[in-house]
C-alpha cells in the first residue's frame, strides 16, 4: 500500500477513534487495516496508536503526526480540486501554429466562439507557411498537411481530407478561355504555391488515366493568400486546396477548371506533443476543432467535385 493510503487510513483512525470505522471508510477489512497501521508504525519506527480492550487513543507522537498528516492530505485534496477545476475551466496561453491561409479561413473565424467558451485561455496564433518545430518553439497545437511527423513524440489527429483544385476568376476565363485539355494548361498563366510537393509538375489522374503536366508560373509565392488575391484579380489559374477556395467557388468569385481531373489529395491534421495527460487548454481546442469540422461537413465539401468544364 502506498504511503498516501497509509496516511489516509491513520487520519481516519485518529478522527473516528475506531480502527473498524476507519477500515469501513477505506473499504478494507479490519485485518487489512490493522496490518497497514502496524506497517506504518514499523516504517516510522514509532508507536502512533495505543489500543486496549475498551478504547483506542493516540500517543503524543501519534497526535503530532496526525496534525501534520491531516494538513498534508488537505493540501493534496486542494491540489486535486484545483487540477479538476482547471480541466473544466482551462487557463493559460494556447500556442497554435498554422499557415496564414488556414489561420485566416479556419482559425480566426472560430476564435470568438472558442474564447467565449473558454474565457481564461489566451490564444496565440503563429501564422507560418513552414513547419515549425513543435517542441523547440513551444507550440501546443499545429495544423499541418503531412500525415507523418519525423518526431515520434508528436501525435497526429486527422481532421479532414481535401482535394487540390484548379480555379480562375470569370474575368480571366472570359479573356483567355477555358482550357479543354491538360496540355492546354501550358498556354495559360499559372499561379503556383512554391511549398507544394513538386509545384512545377502537376500529376493528374482520372479513373485509370494519369498524366503529368510541367507548368511554368506567371506568379509564384510561398503564401496562398497572395496567390488567391492574384486569382481573384484575374491574373491566372490558381492551384490550391479546396479548403482555401471553396467559399470563393460557391460564391462564384472563382470557377473550377478541368475539375474532372484529380491532383493528389492532402489531409488536414492536428499535430501536438504526445503526453499521457494533455493540458485542458490543448484538449479543449483539439476537441473543439474536431467537433467543428464534423459539424461543418468539411471533408464532404472539400473532396466533392464541382461543375465540370
The whole-number pLDDT of residue 16 equals 86
pLDDT at 147 over 90: no
More confident: 77 or 284: 284
Q: Residue 302: its pLDDT value, please?
A: 95
3 state SS for the chain: CCHHHHHHHHHHHHHHCCHHHHHHHCCCCHHHHHHHHHHHHHHHCCCCEEECCCCEEECHHHHHHHHHHHHHHHHHHHHHHHHHHHHHCCCEEEEEEECHHHHHHHHHHHHHHHHHHCCCEEEEEEECCCCCCCCCCCCCEEEECCCCCCCCCEEEEEEEEECEEEEECHHHHHHHCCCCCHHHHHHCCEEEECCCCCCCEEEEEECCEEEEEECCEEEEECCHHHHHHHHHCCCCEEEEEHHHHHHHHHHCCCEEECCCCECCCEEEEEEEECCCCCCHHHHHHHHHHHHHHHHHCHHHHHHCCCCCC
* Section 130-143 average pLDDT: 86
Q: Cell triple for residue 230?
A: 492574384
pLDDT for 6: 87
Q: What is the pLDDT of residues 203-232, one digit of tens each?
A: 999 999 999 999 989 999 999 999 999 999
What digits encode the pLDDT tens for the residues 225-254? 999 999 999 999 999 999 999 999 999 999
pLDDT score for 309: 42
Which is more confident, 54 or 159?
159
The predicted pLDDT at position 73 comes to 83
User: Which residues make Cβ contacts (< 8 Å) with residue 65, sequence separation at least 6?
Assistant: 10, 44, 46, 48
Q: Which of 98-102, 249-253, 270-274 has the lowest mean pLDDT?
A: 270-274
Name the most confidently modeled range: 67-76, 86-95, 160-169: 160-169
State pTM to two decimals. 0.68
Give the Cα separation of 123 and 108 in Å (integer).
10
Q: Is 26 exposed, middle or buried (0-12, 13-18, 19+ CB in 10 A)?
A: middle
The residue among 156, 157, 129 whose CA lies nearest residue 244 is 129
Phi/psi of residue 297, nearest 5 degrees: 60, 40
Q: What pLDDT band is residue 308 in, cutting at 50, 70 and 90?
A: very low
pLDDT at 1 exceeding the cut of 60: no
> pLDDT confidence of 88, banded at 50, 70, 90?
low
Note whether 206 and 275 are within 8 A (CB).
no
Amino acid at each position: 500500500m502506498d504511503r498516501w493510503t497509509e496516511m489516509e487510513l491513520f487520519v481516519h483512525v485518529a478522527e473516528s477513534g475506531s480502527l473498524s470505522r476507519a477500515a469501513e471508510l477505506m473499504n478494507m477489512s479490519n485485518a487489512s487495516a490493522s496490518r497497514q497501521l502496524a506497517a506504518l508504525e514499523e516504517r516510522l519506527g514509532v508507536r502512533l496508536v495505543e489500543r486496549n480492550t475498551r478504547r483506542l487513543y493516540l500517543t503524543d507522537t501519534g497526535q503530532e503526526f496526525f496534525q501534520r498528516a491531516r494538513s498534508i492530505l488537505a493540501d493534496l485534496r486542494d491540489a486535486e480540486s484545483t487540477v479538476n477545476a482547471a480541466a473544466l475551466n482551462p487557463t493559460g496561453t494556447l500556442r497554435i501554429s498554422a499557415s496564414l491561409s488556414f489561420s485566416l479561413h479556419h482559425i480566426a473565424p472560430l476564435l470568438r466562439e472558442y474564447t467565449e467558451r473558454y474565457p481564461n485561455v489566451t490564444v496565440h496564433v503563429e501564422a507560418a507557411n513552414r513547419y515549425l518545430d513543435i517542441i523547440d518553439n513551444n507550440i501546443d497545437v499545429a495544423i499541418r498537411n503531412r500525415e507523418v511527423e519525423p518526431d515520434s513524440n508528436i501525435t497526429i489527429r486527422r481532421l479532414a481530407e481535401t482535394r487540390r483544385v484548379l480555379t480562375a476568376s470569370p474575368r480571366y476565363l472570359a479573356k483567355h478561355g477555358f482550357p479543354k485539355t491538360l496540355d492546354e494548361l501550358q498556354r495559360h498563366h499559372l499561379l503556383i504555391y512554391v511549398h507544394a510537393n513538386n509545384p512545377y509538375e502537376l500529376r493528374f489522374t482520372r479513373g485509370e488515366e494519369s498524366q503529368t503536366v510541367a507548368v511554368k508560373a506567371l506568379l509564384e509565392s510561398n503564401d496562398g493568400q497572395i496567390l488567391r488575391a492574384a486569382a481573384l484579380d484575374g491574373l491566372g489559374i490558381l492551384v490550391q486546396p479546396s479548403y482555401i477556395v471553396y467559399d470563393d467557388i460557391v460564391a462564384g468569385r472563382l470557377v473550377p477548371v478541368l475539375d474532372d481531373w484529380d491532383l493528389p489529395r492532402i489531409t488536414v491534421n492536428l499535430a501536438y506533443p504526445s503526453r499521457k495527460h494533455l493540458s485542458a487548454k490543448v484538449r479543449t481546442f483539439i476537441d473543439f476543432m474536431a467537433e467543428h469540422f464534423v459539424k461543418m461537413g468539411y471533408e464532404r465539401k472539400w473532396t466533392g467535385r464541382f461543375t465540370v468544364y
